[in-house]
Structure 1
Amino acid sequence: MAELLSGTKALRGRAELDLRLGPFDYRQTAGYYGIEDPLVALHLYAILGGTPGYRDLIGTASPQSSGDLRELLLQTVANPSHALFSEAEYLLREDPRIVERSLYHSILGAVADGAHTPTAIAARVGRQVTALSHALSVLRTAGFLRRREDVLRRRRPVLEVADPIVRFTDLVIDPYRAVYEDRRGRRALEQAEPTLRSQIYGPAFEQVAREWVARYAATETLGGPAGQVGTTVVNDARGRSQYEVDVVALPVDQALHDPHARILALGEAKDSDSPRKVVDLHRLERIRDLLIGRGYRAGDARLLVFGRSGFDAELADAARRRSDVELVDLERLGSGQ
C-alpha cells in the first residue's frame, strides 16, 4: 500500500496522514488473549507476536497452561490445513516487489538462524553482498526485517526478523516441513524443542525485558524516565572477553552514540530454568565499571536482573540491601513496575 504513494505513482504527494499501527506488546497480548499464566503468555507472544488479526484465525482459544498452548500450536501453526501454517508465505506474496521468493526466504532463514549482518547473510545464501542490497532494502521497508541499533556505539546495526511467526516458520516449521505435512506435528515440535527454547523463547524474553523498561518500569525503578532502550556490546580487554548487554536504557534527554552518555540502567535477561544467581549481578557490575572507565556516566546506573525462573536466596538478599539493584521476574514483567 505504501508503494501507491511513492515514486512515479499517481498518488505521490497526496497523503495527508501516515497512520502506522504497531503490534501489541507482551503485556497487551496476554490481556488480549485472556492468558493468566505469564510463561504461557510469553511463549505465545514469542510465536505469534502481537498481531491482533490472528485472533480471528485461532478462534476463542485462550491457553492457560503449556499443554493448552501445545495443543493450540498443533491445531494452528503446526497444522498444514490451517492458514497460519503458510502465513509466512502469504505475507511474502502480498508484496509485489518480492518476485524471487526463494531468495527472500533464504535471507529470512539466514537472519533467523543468527546471520545478522549483510556479510554474514551473503555467506549463508551464497551471494555477493552487493547482490543482496535490494532484497535487504525491500525486506526492511516491508517490515520483515528490522535494524537493531547499538545505543552506545556507532557501529553497523544488526538485522533481525521482525515478525515472530516468520521466525517460527523459518526455525521450527521449515526444517521439519515434511514431518508436519505427514501429519506428525507432535513429533516435529518435540524435535524442534531445543530450537524453540534457544532461538524463539530466549530472544523473546530479552525483547520483553526491553519493552518493560521502555513502557512500564516506574521512574523510581530506573532512577528517571527512560528514553532510548536497546542493546550494546562491551569489550573487556583485560579479561579477554566481550559482553553482550541485553538492556541499556538512556534518559529521555540523551542522544544515541554519545561517547559521554548518561546511562540510566543496564540489564541482563536470561530465559533459563534455573534461578538467576549473584554472579549475574557481578557481571553487570563489571560492565558498569568498564563503561565508567570509557567515559560514560554510568556511576548511578540501575542494575536490572531479569529472571524467568526467579532468583536464588543470595541474589535476593543482595538486592534487598541495595538501592541500585532491581530483580524482575515474569510476574513483574506482566503486571508490575
Structure 2
Amino acid sequence: MLPRPAAMFDRAREWTTLTSFATDEAPGASLGVVSGRRRQGKTFLLRALCQATGGFYHAAEEATDGESLHRIGAALAGHLGAPAPLAFRDWSEVVDALLALGRDRVVPVVIDEFPYLARANPRLPSIIQNALAPLRAERDGSRTRLLLCGSAMSFMGRLLSGSAPLRGRAALELVVPPLDHRLAAEFWGAADPVTAVKLNAIVGGTPAYRREFARDDTPSGPDDFDAWVVRTVLSPTSPLFREARYLLADEPDLRDTALYHSVLAAIASGNTGRGGIASFMGRKSGDLAHPLTVLEDCGLISREPDVFKDNRSSYRITEPLITFYHAVMRPIWSDLEHTRDASRLWRRSQRRFTANVLGPHFEHLCRLWTRHYAPETLLGGFPHRVGSGTVNDPAARTGHELDVVVHGLDDDHRQPLLGIGEVKWGDVMGLGHLDRLTRIRALLTAQNRHGAATARLLLYSAAGFTDDLRARAASDPGIVLVGAEDLYRSPAQV
C-alpha cells in the first residue's frame, strides 16, 4: 500500500481502497467511480493518488464538447511531454489514448467532475462502455485504472444503476462521506462535547469548511462559540455565508430552486412529514412526490420510516449547513447582508437555533451513536436497526413519540426490541422522563412486541440528569443514561 499523505486527515479507508485499485497488477483496464458531496476531499484524495503513482489527473470544467476535447488533449500532451496539444476528433479517441497510458505499467487515470463532460456529450458513458468491452484489444492490452469522479450525486447515482451503460463495468464504487461526528470534533479541535455537538449541527463533517472556508478559525472553547458563529457563518465576507445556497446550485437536477428551497425550509421548520411539508408550502401532498424524490436522489434529504408504522415516514435534511441556513439565516437574510454586527441578530435567533437545529441534530447523533458506537452490553444485544417511531395509546387516544427505538436481530431473523429512548438537548432529565418511557414500554408489551418486556430504557441529555434518576439507573441495568460526552467516547469508555 502507498503511504498516506501526511496532510491527509483520516480517510484511511478511502485511501486504502483507492491505492489497492490503482496498483492492482491484474491484466486489463478497469473502471472505478468515485462520488460524494462537494468539499469532502475527493479531489485531494485523487490528486494525491496520481502524484504518488505518476498517474494522469484531469479536472473537467463546464464547457462545450469541443472545448472539453481540446482541454483534455492539452492536458494529456503536458502529461506525456508532447510539444503540442493532442488533437482528438471525438471521445472514442480520447478514451483509447487514456487506455494507452497503461500499456507498459499500471497507471491511475482520473477524470474529475465527470458530469460536466457527460452533460455536454450524453454519449460519453456509452463510449466508455464500448471502450472497456471484454476481448477488445485496447482494453485487454492496458492496465489503466480509469476513475470517474463527480459531486452531482443524482447523476453519479444513476451512472451504474438500472440499465445505465456503465452498469456492470465498474470494479470500484466509492462514496466519500462527510466525517462522522467524532472525527469531525477531532478535526475541528473541539474538546468540549457540547461545543462539538453545536459545531457539528452547523458545519457537519465537511473538511473544507474548516480549512478553506473558515481559514482554520475554530471556536477556542465554549465561551467562544457564539462569537465564532458571528465572525464566520453569519459574516457576509465568509464563504460559509452563502455556501448553503450554492449547494443547491451545484445539483443540475434542481432546476426550480425556489421550489426546492421551500421544501427544505419546511423541513428545517420542523415539518418533517409529507402532510406538514405540503401545509407549509400551501400545496397538496401529492404534489410533493417529485421534489422529495429529487432531493433524496441528490443526497440532500433522507426519508426515515417510522419503525412502528410502515406507511409513515419523516424527512431529514442531511446537510447541517442547509438546515442552519433555512432555520436561522433565511428568515433574517436581508438584515444579515446589511448589518455591521450580527451579534444582536444571532441572540434573537437562539430559540430557532435550539428548537430547529440543535434539538433535531442531537437526536440524529444519538441514534447514530446507538447504532454504530454503543456497547452491546449497554443495550443487551447488537443493534441491528435504530430509528424513531410513534406508539399508539388507545386508552388515552393519543400517540407517544419515541426519539430512539433499537431493534436487534436474533438467530431466527426476528428483530427483538432492545431499547426505547427519549432525547433532550436543553432539559435536565429526571424521574418523570423515566416514568414516561416505562408507560410506553408497557404499551408495547401489551401489543406483544417481541422483546418489549425487557427493552432497555434509554435517556439521552446534553444538559444532564437529576440525582434521583442517576441513583435509579445505578441500581437498575435496564436504565441507560447517555450524556453528550458519551457520544465522543470509545465504546470501552462508556
Q: Distance in 1 between matches of 2:457 and 2:443?
A: 14
Return the alpha-carbon distance in structure 2 between the equivalents of residues 119 and 13 of structure 1: 39
- Report the CA distance between 1:7 and its aligned residue: 8.0
Give the secondary structure class of the aligned counterpart of 1:35: coil
297-306 vs 111-120, which moves further: 111-120
Task: Give the CA deviation at 1:299.
Answer: 1.4
Residues 329 and 96 from structure 1, CA distance in 2 versus in 1: closer, same or farther, beyond 3 angstroms? same
**1:215 aligned partner:** 372
CA distance in 2, matches of 1:137, 1:17: 26
Q: How many correspondences in the alignment? A: 333
Matches within 5 A, 1:180-219: 180-183=336-339, 184-219=341-376
Matching of residues 187-336 of structure 1 within 5 Å: 187-253=344-410, 261-272=415-426, 274-296=427-449, 297-335=451-489, 336=493
Task: Please list, as runs of the form range in 1=range in 2, the aligned pairs for 1:117-128 lying within 5 A after superposition.
Answer: 117-128=273-284
- Partner Cα separation in structure 2 for residue 332 and residue 107 of structure 1: 34
User: What displacement does 1:86 show?
Assistant: 0.9
The answer as to 2:327 corresponding to 1:175 is no
Q: Identify the residue that residue 270 of structure 2 maps to in structure 1.
A: 114
Identify which of 309, 320, 326 aligns with 1:153. Answer: 309
Q: Deviations over 1:294-317 (max 9, x none)?
A: 011211111111121211111111
* In the alignment, structure 1 residue 35 sits paired with structure 2 residue 190: yes
Counterpart CA distance in 2 for 1:10 and 1:247 is 41
RMSD of the alignment, in Å? Answer: 2.1
Between the aligned partners of 1:252 and 1:55, the Cα distance in structure 2 is 39
1:248–1:255 Cα change, 3 Å: farther
Distance 1:37 1:254, change over 3 A: farther
* Letter paired with 2:476: R
Contact 1:122-1:128 at 8 Å conserved across structures: yes
Task: Check if 1:25 corresponds to 2:177.
Answer: no
Residues 245-272 of structure 1: CA distance to partner in whole angstroms, max 9, x if unpaired? 011111144999x7xx411111111012
Q: Give distance in 2, aligned partners of 1:7 and 1:327.
A: 45
Higher relative contact order (CA 8 A, sep 6+): 1
User: Which structure has the larger Rg over C-alpha atoms?
Assistant: 2
How big is each residue's C-alpha offset from its partner over 1:265-292, in whole Å with a ceiling of 9 and x where there is no partner? 11111012x4211111111111111101
Distance 1:84 1:252, change over 3 A: farther
Q: Which stretch shows the higher mean deviation, 125-134 or 235-244?
A: 125-134
- Secondary structure in 2 aligned to 1:148? strand
Provide the rounded CA distance (Å) in 2 between the counterparts of 1:181 and 1:309: 34
186-195 or 49-58, which deviates more: 49-58
Structure 2 Cα separation of the partners of residues 329 and 201 of structure 1: 15
How far does residue 181 in structure 1 lie from its aligned partner after superposition?
0.6
C-alpha distance in 2 between matches for 1:151 and 1:47: 27
Q: Spell out the pairing of 1:58-137 with structure 2 (5 A cutoff).
A: 58-137=214-293
Give the C-alpha shift of residue 108 in structure 1: 0.7
Per-residue deviation at 1:159? 1.2
Closer/same/farther in 2, CA of residues 254 and 142 from structure 1, 3 Å limit: farther
The residue number in structure 2 matching 1:3 is 155
Deviations 1:1-39 (A, max 9, x none): 452626887656543322122222222211111111111
Shift of 1:113: 0.9
Q: Distance in 1 between matches of 2:165 and 2:392?
A: 51
CA contact (8 A) 1:228 1:251 kept: yes
Q: 1:321 to 1:124 in 2, by over 3 A?
A: same
Task: Give the counterpart letter for 1:30 in structure 2.
Answer: A
Worse-matched range after superposition: 28-37 or 6-15: 6-15
Pair 129,298 (structure 1): closer, same or farther in 2 beyond 3 Å:
closer
SS across alignment from 2:310 = coil
| 1:254–1:26 distance in 2 versus 1, CA, 3 Å | farther
Following the alignment from structure 1 to structure 2, what is the Cα–Cα distance between the partners of residues 328 and 255?
30
SS at match of 2:255: coil
- Bigger mean CA offset, 70-79 vs 246-255: 246-255
Aligned-residue sequence identity (percent) comes to 35
TM norm structure 2: 0.64
Give distance in 2, aligned partners of 1:147 and 1:130. Answer: 16
Give the gaps of 5 or more residues in structure 2.
1-149
1:140 alignment partner in structure 2: 296
How far did residue 155 of structure 1 move?
2.1
SS at match of 1:244: strand
Query: Cα 1:186–1:17, aligned 2, differ >3 Å: closer, same or farther?
Result: same
Q: Structure 1: where are the runs of 5+ without partners?
A: none
Q: 1:95 is paired with a residue of what secondary structure?
A: coil
Instruction: Check conservation: 1:36, 1:64, Cα contact below 8 A.
Output: no
Kindly indicate whether the alpha-carbon contact (under 8 Å) linking 1:26 and 1:208 is maintained by their aligned counterparts in 2.
yes
Residues of 2 paired with 1:114 and 1:21: CA distance?
29
Please report the TM-score for the alignment, with normalisation by the length of structure 1. Answer: 0.92
Kindly provide the amino acid, as one letter, of the partner of residue 360 in structure 2.
P
1:157 is paired with a residue of what secondary structure? strand
1:317 counterpart letter in structure 2: A
